[in-house]
Amino acid sequence: MTEHPEPAADSQDSDDQALERIIAVRAREYRQAAGLSVGEMAQRVGISKAMLSKIENAQTACSLTTLSRLARGLDVPVTALFRGMDDEREAVFVPAGHGARIVRRGTRVGHEYAQLGSLRGAHKRMDALLVTLTEQSEVFPLFQHAGTELLYMLEGVMVYGHGKSSYTLRPGDALQFDGEAPHGPERLVELPIRFLTVTAFGDSPQH
Q: Which residue has the higher pLDDT, 95 or 62?
A: 62
Residue 174: how many other CB atoms lie within 10 Å: 11
pTM summary value = 0.50
Amino acid at 120: R
Residue pair 151/206 in contact (Cβ under 8 Å)? The answer is no
Q: Would you place residue 9 in the very low, low, confident or very high pLDDT band (cuts 50, 70, 90)? A: very low
pLDDT at residue 166 in the model: 94
Kindly tell me if the per-residue pLDDT of 101 is higher than 80. no
Residue pair 197/129 in contact (Cβ under 8 Å)? The answer is yes
Stretch 93-117: mean pLDDT: 62
pLDDT at residue 8 in the model: 47
Stretch 7-21: mean pLDDT: 61
Kindly tell me if the per-residue pLDDT of 11 is higher than 50. no
Q: Would you place residue 204 in the very low, low, confident or very high pLDDT band (cuts 50, 70, 90)? A: very low
What percentage of the chain has pLDDT greater than the value 70? 71
b/e sequence 1-33, b meaning 16+ C-beta within 10 Å = eeeeeeeeeeeeeeeeeebbebbbebbbbbbee
